[in-house]
């Protein structure tokens, strides 16, 4: 590999980046990625070989679901030995959800998997698609001593490369659509590519790639708000076959202290349902016990999501629920950093 050009597989799943505007009608249609190099000749200047793979039917990011995540993981698995890196083109709305989930599903990953997309179609005059695509491919092809420099699932958007499971979409209007508030960017694109080596995932892979293809979707996401009622919360926590719940709490993990609230959570945990506490704040961390309004959660066994994003917390919950482990071991695993998703 050392003296050969890296081979990158470009996987198109759907989204704005894969659309081009018809010059006559002005309507958007799917871009033909088989003619990628003809339409974006700049890619030929990169020191890599690019191959493409497209979903048979492009998926709008709003329609993305865990079955599509599994399909992406299977594509990577089946092409893993033939390629040095992977770039996944995806709609931006749920990109953080998909890329976070993939980070858990791809165990012992030793090659880059970089998600990117755009706010404008690839054929628009002012599009951000070309820069996002070109730089993502360049980052995926970076090597040292014949081995990839990046060994994790990432997200690249508007000049910055992030650890995927640390990101969230923060703007639907600006080109700078994503942010990572609790972890620094892994690379920045300017006149030169600046790689922040100390922040890259240090892979201690014990064995070959292991792809986890089952996810448990019997979960709920509940955002606390002033005035939340016992009836609403009780109904949500009584959902049939419920296995896990993510509670978006206030500040550093604080919540309502009324007896009915704590009793409902205690009863839910007693049924074997895992409750995870993450903060509604886009930056910062849960610290149960720091204030009296969170100490009861810690006492009854609520799991701390620490500084995880909502998107990462959901992916990790679906992933761990498929493991047949005790409540205590589940709690320990959830509160441990598996793919750099928490500090």
Rounded Cα distance, 338 and 125, in Å: 41
Rounded Cα distance, 250 and 293, in Å: 10
From the list 169, 147, 109, 141, the residue with the least C-alpha distance to 312 is 169
16, 127, 249, 268: the active-site residue: 16
State yes or no: is 235 an active-site residue. Answer: no
The gap between the terminal CA atoms of the chain, to the nearest Å, is 34
Strand partners, 30: 19
- For the chain, strand residue ranges (E) read 7-12, 19-21, 28-30, 49-54, 85-89, 106-107, 113-116, 143-144, 147-148, 153-157, 160-163, 168-169, 178-179, 187-189, 193-195, 210-211, 219-223, 244-249, 274-279, 303-304
Strands 113-116 vs 85-89: parallel, antiparallel or unpaired: parallel
Q: Which residues contact 38 (CB under 8 A, 6 or more apart)?
A: none
Strands 219-223 vs 106-107: parallel, antiparallel or unpaired: unpaired
Angle at Cα 72 formed by Cα 67 and Cα 74, nearest 5°?
95
Do 216 and 243 form a contact (C-beta atoms < 8 A)?
yes
Q: What backbone phi and psi angles, to 5 degrees, belong to 133?
A: -70, -50
- Residue whose pair of structure tokens reads 């996401």 in the numeric block: 221
Angle between helices 230-237 and 259-270 (to 10 degrees): 10
Dig out the tokens for 210 from the structure. Answer: 């292991």
User: What is the torsional sign of CA 231, 232, 237, 239?
Assistant: positive
SS3 call for 186: coil
Residues that are catalytic: 16
């Amino acid at each position: 590999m050392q003296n050969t050009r890296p081979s990158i597989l470009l996987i198109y799943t759907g989204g704005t980046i894969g659309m081009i505007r018809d010059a006559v009608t002005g309507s958007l249609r799917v871009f033909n990625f088989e003619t990628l190099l003809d339409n974006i000749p700049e890619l030929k200047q990169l020191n890599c070989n690019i191959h493409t793979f497209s979903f048979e039917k492009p998926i709008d990011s709003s329609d993305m679901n865990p079955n599509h995540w599994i399909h992406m993981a299977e594509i990577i698995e089946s092409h893993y030995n033939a390629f040095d890196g992977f770039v996944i083109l995806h709609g931006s709305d749920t990109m953080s959800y998909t890329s976070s989930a993939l980070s858990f599903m791809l165990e012992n990953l030793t090659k880059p998997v970089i998600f990117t997309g755009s706010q404008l179609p690839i054929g628009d005059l002012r599009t951000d698609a070309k820069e996002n695509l070109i730089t993502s491919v360049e980052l995926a092809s970076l090597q040292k001593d014949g081995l990839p420099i990046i060994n994790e699932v990432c997200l690249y958007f508007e000049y910055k490369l992030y650890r995927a499971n640390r990101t969230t979409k923060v703007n639907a209007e600006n080109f700078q659509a994503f942010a990572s508030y609790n972890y620094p960017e892994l690379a920045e694109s300017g006149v030169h590519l600046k790689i922040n080596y100390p922040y890259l995932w240090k892979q201690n892979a014990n064995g070959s790639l292991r792809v986890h293809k089952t996810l448990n979707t019997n979960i709920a996401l509940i955002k606390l708000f002033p005035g939340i009622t016992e009836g609403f919360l009780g109904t949500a926590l009584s959902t049939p076959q419920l296995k896990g719940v993510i509670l978006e709490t206030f500040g550093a993990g604080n919540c309502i202290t009324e007896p009915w609230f704590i009793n409902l959570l205690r009863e839910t945990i007693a049924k074997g349902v895992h409750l995870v506490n993450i903060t509604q704040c886009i930056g910062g961390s849960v610290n149960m016990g720091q204030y009296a309004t969170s100490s009861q959660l810690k006492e009854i066994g609520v799991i701390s999501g620490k500084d995880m994003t909502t998107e990462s917390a959901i992916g990790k919950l679906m992933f761990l629920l498929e493991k047949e482990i005790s409540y205590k071991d589940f709690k320990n695993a959830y509160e441990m950093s598996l793919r750099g998703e928490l500090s």
